Amino acid sequence: MAYDEQLAARIRKILRRHKGVTEKKMFGGLSFLLHGKMCCGILQNDLVARIQPKDYEAALQQSHVRPMDFTGRTLKGFIFVGPMGFQSEQELARWIKHGVEFVSAISKVDRKRSATK
């Protein structure tokens, strides 16, 4: 599967202010990782965003958003956002922010676990 190269460039521009961003081809598309954990990605023309559990249901109520289910099963914590849901840079940045916050929350838990070992 191919992915939208223009969307990739837009995401790179938003994520460049963060240290520890890498890219990896995953799910037949492109994923952006922050400190080794996926925060967002692209599958064909859709944005894949990570969403914290507390924000998941509210995100699904928004236009152009659906659960990530490309395997036939819903992947909790991941959503697809169709192109109409991130036309402006502000909209795209808002979805990416969800992913960055998700990864930051995971990293805090990982640090706490490491400190107790």
The CATH number of the domain holding residue 48 is 3.90.1150.30
Asked if the structure places residue 88 within a domain, the reply is: yes
pLDDT tens for 13-31 read 999 999 999 999 987 899 9
What pTM did the predictor assign? 0.88
Asked if the structure places residue 114 within a domain, the reply is: no
Asked if the structure places residue 112 within a domain, the reply is: no
Alpha carbon distance 27, 42 (integer Å): 9
Q: How many CB atoms lie under 10 A from the CB of residue 32?
A: 25
Asked if the structure places residue 31 within a domain, the reply is: yes
Asked if the structure places residue 115 within a domain, the reply is: no
pLDDT band at 11 (very low <50, low <70, confident <90, very high): very high
Mean per-residue pLDDT, 61-85: 92
Mean per-residue pLDDT, 42-51: 95
Asked if the structure places residue 84 within a domain, the reply is: yes
Is the CB of residue 47 less than 8 Å from the CB of residue 7?
yes
Q: Tell me the CA end-to-end span of the chain in Å, nearest whole number.
A: 42
Asked if the structure places residue 96 within a domain, the reply is: yes
Most confident of 73-77, 94-98, 107-111, 113-117: 94-98
Asked if the structure places residue 116 within a domain, the reply is: no
Is the CB of residue 89 less than 8 Å from the CB of residue 105?
no
- pLDDT higher than threshold 60 for residue 111: no
Distances (CA, A) of 15 to 3, 62, 64: 18, 23, 22
pLDDT for the residue 116: 62
Mean per-residue pLDDT, 69-98: 93
Structural domains in the chain (count): 1
Q: How many CB atoms lie under 10 A from the CB of residue 18?
A: 14
Which residue range forms the structural domain that includes residue 30? 5-107
